[in-house]
Structure 1
């Protein structure tokens, strides 16, 4: 096969990139290791920044978000005995939307179907060759295949084959705790997300729909799910989220999914080598506390798509040459914000650190400047930041 852009990875970043390239008159082929059913069912992020929603709307992908998404003005910050609401719209004029990554994935897949986008699922042994004149090889249906391209883009995550083709420097931070995440078939107990600091560990009360609640608990890294039966999970959530505080109650229901999510930060630079580019998790990972992962991947794609259109249609390399530096500026801002939210909210065994965390929370919730800084970063900086 021959195409202009070969995209490795059919997650949200890869499919949005193919959509934006098609709108700009550039053809692409997408190659994905997993099956389509797997990609469309995996549980991931659920918060879309203001800038992400604007991007999807401008690309003609915002109809179902408007119908089925849940717009939130802000979040609640909590510690024992206190709960405070930060109103992002009042603070910075920007909201966020609760709309699961699984739903974004389905929207992008359907848009690709309507356009006849070529997406090859369930492949093996994917490899990227010759960054200066790239091509991709893989196995599909037990037969070898090859795609020659003008450009290759890796949207294949931190363990995909593309990052190894783009050598450079990597910065990383591994946290000594993880999140135990659950989905429960019960209506959310809160109007907007509750981020709770507690001596026993952080907790987050989120949601996916009017009938499905998403909840998280801070647990030690290496936690065995077998040690956390449903009743223990609900009891810990009740304690950390303040069940009974000022009459508030945490509704319980059947838990349908459990997983343990390690917490890490990872940034690779540069995000380009010759005609091979990286976007999304292939170049950077952030802990989920700041709700930045999916949004940051889409911001990469929003910069990369016009750069590739200019490069391939107009033979103008300027935006492509600027892509890595421009993307990394936002990557590091979001990496810092995610680290800041994580270290502020996850309890430690050090009593000195705990007092610093509580001082930080009191400042954020009592200072307009502190609240505005959190709101600006959480609701999302402009794509071109």
Structure 2
């Protein structure tokens, strides 16, 4: 078995972490039990490019239980939990190519290693595998029955590929499932981003002005949690509907050029490029803290920050770099601008990833069962999968809901009855 990890001897700690996460992932556990019996993925070679965390490990175990021959690589250089990588290799016999802090060259070498597995189905967290296949490994396209995409950023990239005719394989946008973005993005990102910022800085958010760039589901979750911690929250947006929603949710809304003057803590959650730029860094307060919780660190123009600086003090705290600007002010960058919830914390709680990864597993089963029937485009997750996962999650939480009576079903199906 090929693999490239930090240290195989870290496995015992990783196994404990995986088992702890599994305790709070009852829906995925039920799917794993069924997969173990039915083997719906038998004969499939899978390559997955995901955040290598304890929660991801339980997804990979589920896919393996379903019969898949799976290889895992990291989707972010700073999100890997090295003890989890070690346990996946030693305890579960899964090839992993991921080392926390790996440089850019190693990151792409690991993606190449995952593709050398010659997958028939892939799973992405940011579309790096699919992108590499279309640019450098077109030989793999004929054998691929589909790919799953977990992130908003990845879906944006894939939709762009579909629009210009570049997409050559079917992709299921798992991120667009209600059981993913309504919960994982809002509650998972909301809580874990706060967690990452506080772990990195030990900052009291109460009374501070927190600037949230982007009011999609991730931005909404983070803004909600920051407000709950007592922060004054400012939202910056380009979308008028979302801006209006943020205002009606009780947040101040203004352009980043105005927010840059008043913010104490800045976090980007947009999926776009250079959301915080040179002109913003120049007018920030002395001691402003800047971080990103979007998928790629390009949301922050780190090159511009470096150009404005006379010096950089690395790791003034773990994962905190101090940039000394020419105007005698300093700006603190967290986690090298990468996903702060994974660079400085442990990512989303297992409870919320239970739904996302249950949907991932079932979407993979759907793609395999429909091999040859799906054309090269971006598909939404079938609604019946969403509903099934939601019902199971409710059951695991001990929550019951109402069902329609026959009379109500008839009324909703009829156009003849009015008031």
Q: Same fold per TM (> 0.5)?
A: no
Q: Higher helix share goes to which structure? A: 2
Q: Higher strand share goes to which structure? A: 1
Structure with more contact order per residue of length (Cα contacts < 8 Å, sep ≥ 6): 1
